[in-house]
Amino acid sequence: MSRLVRNICLLFLPGILCLLTGTAGVSQTNPPALHFSSFEAAVFNKKAVQLKWEIAGETADSMHFIVERSADGIIFQPLHSSISFAGNSTTPYYYTDHLSLTDSVFYRIAEQRDKSKGSVSEVRKIQFPRKSKAEVIIMPNPVFNNAALIINDEGLGEISCILYDMNGKNIRTYQIRKTTAYLQQILDMYSVPKGEYVLSIRGASVNESKRILKQ
């Protein structure tokens, strides 16, 4: 490599490896994109969705994936920034989503390479059983300090309410005992940071998820 060519590379292409042999230049290329040979989604333990996928072809020492979820099958949001696994084209990969927001939900898997998205799997849809006919209301919403949970149905007994952030992290748990058809329960959210949350409400006759905006 002549001194002139070397100086041009250093001046205009910092950080890029230049390999020149004679007058021909060869640059490094990214590894080939992954191929998703299979992708499955199924209800797991009645309260979660388990995803399973396999890849084909050459793999790196470690693989990075983004699990994406959608309520309409069009607009997808990542559940996590990146999930890392040891690279292996013969071993299935698994992920369990414990947070469902609607009667139907869509999933797909995207390959994460550097700061960009690589190959994307096919889309899989999960259809949950119809929700209960119980009337469930959160008010006010948006919430400024505390929220009132109103449940109006004939079912009685213990009710578990879990407040999740949009990444599925458990922020707060409320245990409620319902002794009458009409229940109004105050939920303390004074110290909950501002943001968007999902309240999962589970009982003998109620199975609801409500979005809450804390301001």
Cis peptide before 140 (omega within 30 of 0): yes
Q: Nearest to residue 100, comparing CAs of 171, 43, 28?
A: 43
**Residue 102 CB coordination number (10 Å):** 13
Predicted local distance difference test score (pLDDT) of residue 33: 65
What's the whole-number mean pLDDT along residues 136-159?
92
Instruction: Say which DSSP state 3 is in.
Output: H
Please tell me the predicted confidence (pLDDT) of residue 148.
Answer: 95
For residue 39, CA distances in Å to 88, 124, 153, 197 come to 16, 8, 39, 29
Tell me the percentage of the chain whose pLDDT exceeds 70.
Answer: 73
Instruction: Report pLDDT digits (tens) over 45-60.
Output: 777 889 999 888 766 6
pLDDT at residue 7 greater than cutoff 50? no
Where in the chain are the domains?
1-30, 35-127, 135-214
CATH class of 35-127: mainly beta
CA 174/CA 186 separation, integer angstroms: 10
From 49, 28, 53, select the one nearest 39 (Cα to Cα): 53
- The yes-or-no answer to whether 35-127 and 135-214 have a common fold is yes
Q: Between the CA atoms of 115, 52, 92 and 94, what dihedral angle is there, to the nearest 10 degrees?
A: 70
Residue 18 — very low, low, confident or very high, per pLDDT cuts 50/70/90? very low
Kindly state the average pLDDT of the residues 64-84.
83
Confidence of residue 35 (pLDDT cuts 50, 70, 90): confident
Summarised one tens digit per residue, pLDDT across range 154-193 is 888 999 999 999 888 999 999 999 999 899 999 999 999 9
> What is 135-214's CATH topology?
Immunoglobulin-like (2.60.40)
Kindly report the pTM of this predicted structure: 0.48
